[in-house]
Structure 1
Amino acid sequence: ERAVTEILACFRPGRGNFLTDFFSRRIDRILVAATKADHLHHESHDRLQAIVRRLADRAVARANFTGAEVDVVALAAVRATRE
C-alpha cells in the first residue's frame, strides 16, 4: 500500500487547464493493473481487482480528490489456463 502511494506521489495527478498545462503537465488518468491474472480462474478476477483496489485505496482517493480518473483492472497478456 505504501509503495503504490509513494509511486503515485512522484506524479502530479489532477486535471489542469490551458494555462497550467502550458507550464507543467498533469496526469488526468491513472490505471492500476493487476497483471498475471491468467494464472487465476476467470471467476477470481474480480477478487484480484478488489485486492488491488484495497491496496491502492489511499493513492486512489488522493488522485480522485485532485480530479484524476482512476481505474483498477485485472489483466493478462495471454490466457494460460483453462477452466
Structure 2
Amino acid sequence: MRPLKPLSIIYNEKSGFHASKHEDVYEQLMTVFTEYGFEIQVFELNENTLFDDLINNVIHRHSQNENTGVVVAAGG
C-alpha cells in the first residue's frame, strides 16, 4: 500500500467556505480525495489562531513525507 499524500486545506473562518449547509458536497469531496490517496487535514484560521503557528504546522506536516502533497488556501 502506498503512503498517503498530505492534503491541507486552510480556510478563514469568516470566508465564504462554510460546509454547514453543504455537508453532502463536503463529504463527497473528502471521499474523492481520499480515494486518490490523500490524507486530508483542515486548518481553520480565526482570531484565536496565530498565523505563523498555523503555517509552521502545515509546513511541518508536508515536510515529513517524501511526497510533499498539496496545500490549498480557501478564502472569500
* TM-score, L = length of structure 2: 0.36
Higher helix share: 1
Q: Please identify which structure carries the higher strand content.
A: 2
User: Higher relative contact order at CA 8 Å, sep ≥6: structure 1 or structure 2?
Assistant: 2
Q: TM-score, normalised by structure 1?
A: 0.34
Larger radius of gyration: 1
